[in-house]
Structure 1
Amino acid sequence: MKGTRQSVLIVGGSGVVGSLAAKTLRKLHPDLPITIGGRDRTKAAAVAEQLGRAQAAHVDLERADLGQPADETYSAIVMFVKDDRMNALGYAQRTGAAYVDISTAAFEIAPEVALYAQRPKSAPVLLTSHWLAGSATLPALHFAKSYASLESVAIGAVLDEKDMGGPAAYADYERQTKAGQSALILKDGKWIWVGGEDSSRSFVTVDGTELKGQAYPMLDTMSIAAATEARSVRFDIVLGETATRRRGEPFSTEIVIELEGTRKDGSRGRSRHELVHPEGQAPMTAVGVAVAVERLLGLAAGERVAPGLYHPDVLIEPAHMIERLVSFGTRIRSV
């Protein structure tokens, strides 16, 4: 098998999104060893048994060695829970495992960046706390390729209030919305912190309903601004009712990407792109994580990634992400 024979440790892999990410990885790479890690080894073992070619591990985030045997090593460590002690990153650096974090908001990344600065050549560190693990940023960059230059990128996401996921996802949302009272956006070429009414924006969802979103402290804004050099970039979220539920169907998840700028023929242009998954946010997050792991380990779309500090847009081709999202049920419409 190309890339690695060591197991991928998924911390929080028995949770709602973590277990789905493990299943997505298994579908993409049937021979990849996977370890489901968590506080409850019994729950982890149940998920591992369903996967096949998988094992369970008790993970203790209060210990520097995560409670793992001295002779155990992993090819990658994927965090579906917030590690306030940074022990998982330290463990990854000491053992050379690729590290993937999807739970840290833009205003929380300083401890991770500081650890990376101390040991820059120890392991690849991927900060992918973007919306649904890059499911908005990478498509936005894909559609941006039709422009010579961009004036603005505005992303609106609708998370159904019945689709919060498990306890870890809810804890992330609570922590990030309460701790970060302001959000960082790019406006007219300047980075500014906005709060109150300045942080809200109305946008039209996929069924034509206008909703008021709130700027949210994800890493999408920074990645898109750096990659496109657009003058204005913002990301807004609505926690409420998705279009499918308004029709009396089960919840879905929605992402609306709006671009404005100069096209390659010199004309001014605008475009709108809608991404919907009929099963909610978990499948898109799972795909984002699976794509990140396969890229880091050299299992698809490139060689194994060298030690460094990365965002997903630096490593992953937007077209590859689009392909993976569509193959796992995401519907994309450009209008």
Structure 2
Amino acid sequence: MSTNSQKPVLIIGGSGVVGSLAAKTLRQLQPALPITIGGRDLARAEAVARELGNADAARVDLGRPDLGQPGSRAYSAIVMFVKDDTLNSLRYAQTQGAAYLGISTALFEVAPEVAYFIHQPTRSAVLMASNWLAGAATLSTLHFARAFQSLDAIEITAVLDEQDVGGPAALVDLERQTKAAPSSLVLEQGRWRWAEAASSARTVRGVDGHALHAQPYSLLDPASLAAATEAKSVRFDVSVGMSSSRRRGEPFSTEFIIELEGVLEDGTRARVRHEVTHPRGQAPVTAMGVAVAVERLLGLSGGAPAAPGLYLPETLIAPEYLVQRLQESGVRFSRV
């Protein structure tokens, strides 16, 4: 274990619905790692910390450059489960030389984070993990893409059950991302274009055969996958409504469908569909994505601690490792 990893990981928003589950998942993977639960409500943060063990709580003020933390505090990583409009959290991580992980920045919002990194490129490892479910869709796609020698098209459709939006912070993210940009970036036949949501919507067959209305959504997945695979066409769509499990009268699930088209390793052309589901919704999938990312940033799995740099999930995390962890957490993968 590296010296830096002995410092606590500060999880801002760690007492929320997904943040607290991520903290518990990280604790399961790394029993000895110190964790600080940060938030505005100190009592809620302390309750989560007590449940975790080897953890404490801190009141965080994103309006202050020091986040309201005493000068004696030092952290190995800052993990964000809320959108920080000030980006004081990133500046604070850079000041400390701590790793930084954000999951709430839409594709059209990345410029400030990139600029802050460019101005201090030797300070921190900055992981932009605002892919669907903290990289779960992108890394699963890359895992399945290894069956191809070349890819022409990647199409991902995520199903977000309207009862599975998450806590208040997640709802704010969804509303901001859908209202702030009426168009989403897609790659079509080698050309990037902004696709207007209504005119670019499509109908997709769900995991239960039900027809889903899906439209483009501006997360980082298309950019990640285009760079990693050289596919000519990449799009990411989301369908908000009822998951297949809830249509059966069961609790909501999270689902995403990966469709890959290209030339397989044996030289034949094919279009392959993979369905990925979790019966308890998006929270445990996001939690595992974040926990694995923190492990990797700190060098607790998969290699040495990440050097200062600007990263996407697929540039740090081995797809097969995350897929393994997702399966252990209850994610079901099936090829159709």
Q: Same fold (TM over 0.5)?
A: yes
List aligned pairs for 1:111-260, cutoff 5 A.
111-260=112-261
List aligned pairs for 1:33-52, cutoff 5 A.
33-52=34-53
Deviations 1:102-144 (A, max 9, x none): 0000000100000000000000000000000011000000100
Deviations 1:184-224 (A, max 9, x none): 00001100001044321211111111111010000001000
- Classify the secondary structure of the residue corresponding to 2:323: helix
List aligned pairs for 1:75-94, cutoff 5 A.
75-94=76-95
Partner Cα distance (2:115, 2:223) in 1: 18
The corresponding residue for 1:74 is 75
- Classify the secondary structure of the residue corresponding to 1:61: coil
Partner Cα distance (1:309, 1:128) in 2: 11
CA drift of 1:2 comes to 5.0
Contact 1:186 1:231 in 2 (8 A): yes
Q: Following TM superposition, where does structure 1 have runs of at least 4 consecutive aligned residues deviating by more than 3 angstroms?
A: none
CA drift of 1:181 comes to 0.6
Provide the aligned C-alpha RMSD in A. Answer: 0.8
CA drift of 1:264 comes to 1.5
Deviations 1:56-98 (A, max 9, x none): 0000000000000101010000000000001000000010000
Amino acid at match of 1:44: A
The corresponding residue for 2:315 is 314
Q: What residue ranges of structure 1 are gaps of 5+ in the alignment? A: none
CA drift of 1:152 comes to 0.2
Contact 2:184 2:217 in 1 (8 A): yes
- Classify the secondary structure of the residue corresponding to 2:89: helix
Partner Cα distance (2:200, 2:68) in 1: 42
The corresponding residue for 1:21 is 22
Deviations 1:210-248 (A, max 9, x none): 111010000001000000000000000011000000000
TM value normalised by structure 1? 0.99
The corresponding residue for 1:272 is 273
Contact 1:183 1:199 in 2 (8 A): no
The corresponding residue for 2:282 is 281
Amino acid at match of 1:219: L
Percent identity between the two aligned chains: 60
Partner Cα distance (1:248, 1:99) in 2: 40
CA drift of 1:302 comes to 1.1
Q: What residue ranges of structure 2 are gaps of 5+ in the alignment? A: none
Change in Cα spacing, 1:55 to 1:233, as seen in structure 2 (3 Å) is same
Amino acid at match of 1:129: S
TM value normalised by structure 2? 0.99
Amino acid at match of 1:275: V
Amino acid at match of 2:183: S
Partner Cα distance (2:197, 2:315) in 1: 33
Deviations 1:265-287 (A, max 9, x none): 21101111111000000000000
More displaced stretch, 234-243 vs 192-201: 192-201
- Classify the secondary structure of the residue corresponding to 1:20: helix
Partner Cα distance (1:2, 1:329) in 2: 30
CA drift of 1:9 comes to 0.2
Contact 1:182 1:199 in 2 (8 A): no
Contact 1:59 1:67 in 2 (8 A): yes
